[in-house]
Structure 1
Amino acid sequence: MGAFVSTLLGGLVQDPYIPLVFHPDTKGSQIILEESEYIATRAATFHDGIVFSNRPIHVNEKVTLEILKEDDRWFGGLRLGFTSEHPSLMDSRDLPPFACPNLVKQGKCWAGVLPDEYVGKGTIVRFWVNRKGCVFFRVDHESGSHLLLKDVPVKRPLWAVIDIYGRTKAVQLLDPSRPKICTYESNQLELNTAGQNESVCRNFCEGSSIGKECVVCFYRKANTVMLPCCHAYFCFCCSTRILYSSGCCPLCRQNVEKVLRVSAWAEKGIPAKWLEEVEDSQPPPRQKLNRAHAPETSPS
């Protein structure tokens, strides 16, 4: 079966659209990437949180981030910019602790500091570079854009640089064209396949490959289900790539409407009792920024 699936997915890397995620290998020493590579978290301290995009960013393409967590012990927040050096050619061990000014001073990197009023939890930030080499940013509750830096050379490929610094603890890359992915708690929620009969659902619950090896990458655990066909042989990363390429299940060639991501409960083999469907994930409600905080230590 592995050879069959690999043949069907052979053209994935040639797909004209590559989802924008964080570079999986080159990152700061304190960075932890979620399996999907959309979420990056700084584990400790206030520095060593540099991450890159997995692919070059087009001129005027907006890189969109949501701040998921903050740590009020520190001052300052995100640093944003671009680099002309391919992240795959960098050694993570050689990355400096700060994008500004350390990485900028090394050359081939241009980055600026996001003002403190824009680094609160729940803030959505978009930044991009125009044809004149000016980098702008915009936040979701404002209509206008702000100049962050300029004189970025745009005649060469540019990868996004994000420094998860200071108050900023975790960020998520948002992509409006990303397929709809739902999360289901396997011990509480129903596998609602929108048209599948009871026997198909029963077969899924009894013979699921959840928790076994993904048949595409042979590395990660299978933790997603294709809907409406209910095939569950793929990890989250491979399922996402399938949606971005053919949009069809590699096993039955049926169009995929949704990807159901099963929780860790199911991965551990705990029997499932499906009760109801969880709503699609939405950004958390905006929280009022708390400017009054006393950090234990303030980074320079």
Structure 2
Amino acid sequence: MTVNLERQLKIPAYIPQSSLGPDITLVSPTTMQLLLLELRVPWEERMEEVHERKREKYQELVEDCKRNGTHRACGCGNGCLGPLMFNAEAKGQLVRLSEGGRRATREKSSFQHGLVFSSRPVKIQEKVCLRIERSVSGWHGALRIGITSVAPGSRSLPPLAIPDLTYSQGYWATLVPENQCEPRTELKLWVCRRGYLRIRTSDGQTHIMETQVNTRDPIWAMIDVYGQTNTILLIGSEKKGFFSTRRSCPVLTIDATEENCGYDILPTEKPQKIPEKQTPASIFCQNNGHNRSMERVVCLSMHADVLLCVCGHWCLCPQCASRVAREIGREDSRKTDPSFPLLSKQ
């Protein structure tokens, strides 16, 4: 263990402050678990009585930790895979978590900044189940699903999984067809022993994506709540063995109802503009030497038929062109502002 004594150590913001002072505190920022150890329980007599008193002493602190997204270590036994929710410390700018970190909602005013990650590494053959709850009919494209061997929170998050993260080492993602991303749809994703990402859609088909992930390394699930997909719910996970099936920690069942599942429309007010320094200039532009009939940049669902006048790139379909211009800047700003976000630096 290496400790830098010259640097002032800071307690993470998601851990509540307390004067109770347990003897040992173990924290996992990856799985968002907190373990409190109290060593002053007398062994000779009244052990059970003192143990219960200590439990009551820390009960309020435990509740504070839960509200901040930190959970106690799983006590379900060897048959449990552990708690599973979205990582509260590594999520897109426009993502809000609820239902104990199991529900992720992206603001309707934008199609991007919706990245979320699993709170802990998923095991090989552990099937993670998601449900799409709400969609915004005004956007194009839908959910992106992937995996990463890079610990969430170790880097700043870009707006998109594809291509922003998939251009970096240790990230793999693929799109889910729009017709498989309707509200109430359930999807399963898992990593097989050969390192392939498998996604099972509601029609029973299993889509396979080859990756170069090392299955001996920790692997996190990565979901981009993108485009028309607005809200997803993490239902849980399971891993089947020869003689038994292991599951993630039991959680309250949330049924799909008319209230929490359905379609929304784009807000009429002007969308909130993301600061330009957080929107890389090369997100949307592709080399104009590519075959334009096959280019799919923003929604990855339609052909790119719109030409950007200044740089000459074909990188947007008609629907995405109008919506991206409305969110990031005025359409005529490309003529007067050389830093217009749709143009890549030459």
Report the TM-score when normalising by structure 2: 0.49
Partner of 2:179: 117
Q: For the residues of structure 2 that align with 1:131 and 1:60, how far apart are their CA atoms?
A: 7
Q: For the residues of structure 1 that align with 2:217 and 2:254, how far apart are their CA atoms?
A: 36
1:116-155, aligned counterparts within 5 Å? 116-140=178-202, 142-155=203-216
Partner of 1:5: 56
The superposition leaves residues 56-96 of structure 1 with CA deviations (integer Å, 9 ceiling, x where unpaired) of 01111111110010011111111111111111433xxx211
Q: 2:116 aligns with which of 39, 42, 51?
A: 51
> What is the letter of the counterpart of residue 199 of structure 2?
F
SS of match in other structure, 2:146: strand
Deviation (angstroms), 1:3: 4.5
Partner of 1:232: none
Percentage of matched positions with identical amino acids? 29
Q: For the residues of structure 1 that align with 2:198 and 2:237, how far apart are their CA atoms?
A: 19
The superposition leaves residues 18-65 of structure 1 with CA deviations (integer Å, 9 ceiling, x where unpaired) of 211000111000000014100000013000000000000111111111
Q: For the residues of structure 2 that align with 1:62 and 1:22, how far apart are their CA atoms?
A: 15
The superposition leaves residues 101-129 of structure 1 with CA deviations (integer Å, 9 ceiling, x where unpaired) of 10111221111111222111111011111
1:84 to 2:57 alignment: no
Q: For the residues of structure 2 that align with 1:107 and 1:77, how far apart are their CA atoms?
A: 23
RMSD: 3.4
Q: Is contact 2:183-2:262 (8 Å) kept?
A: yes
1:28 to 2:92 alignment: yes
1:69 to 2:134 alignment: yes
Deviation (angstroms), 1:152: 2.9
Q: For the residues of structure 2 that align with 1:26 and 1:58, how far apart are their CA atoms?
A: 20
Partner of 1:196: none
Q: For the residues of structure 1 that align with 2:84 and 2:72, how far apart are their CA atoms?
A: 15
Q: Is contact 1:113-1:148 (8 Å) kept?
A: no
1:105 to 2:167 alignment: yes
The superposition leaves residues 261-295 of structure 1 with CA deviations (integer Å, 9 ceiling, x where unpaired) of xxxxxxxxxxxxxxxxxxx742348989xxxxx96
Partner of 1:226: none
The range that moved more, 33-42 or 163-172, is 33-42
Q: 1:283 aligns with which of 256, 278, 297?
A: 256
Q: For the residues of structure 1 that align with 2:141 and 2:91, how far apart are their CA atoms?
A: 20
> What is the letter of the counterpart of residue 181 of structure 2?
V
The range that moved more, 155-164 or 111-120, is 111-120
Report the TM-score when normalising by structure 1: 0.56
Q: Is contact 1:73-1:295 (8 Å) kept?
A: no
Q: For the residues of structure 2 that align with 1:164 and 1:52, how far apart are their CA atoms?
A: 11
> What is the letter of the counterpart of residue 187 of structure 2?
V
The count of aligned residue pairs is: 194
SS of match in other structure, 1:66: strand
Deviation (angstroms), 1:134: 1.0
Q: For the residues of structure 1 that align with 2:112 and 2:58, how far apart are their CA atoms?
A: 43
1:193-232, aligned counterparts within 5 Å? none
Higher relative contact order (CA 8 A, sep 6+): 1
Partner of 2:41: none
> What is the letter of the counterpart of residue 40 of structure 1?
A
Distance 1:176 1:63, change over 3 A: closer
The superposition leaves residues 239-261 of structure 1 with CA deviations (integer Å, 9 ceiling, x where unpaired) of xxxx959xxxxxxxxxxxx97xx
SS of match in other structure, 1:52: strand
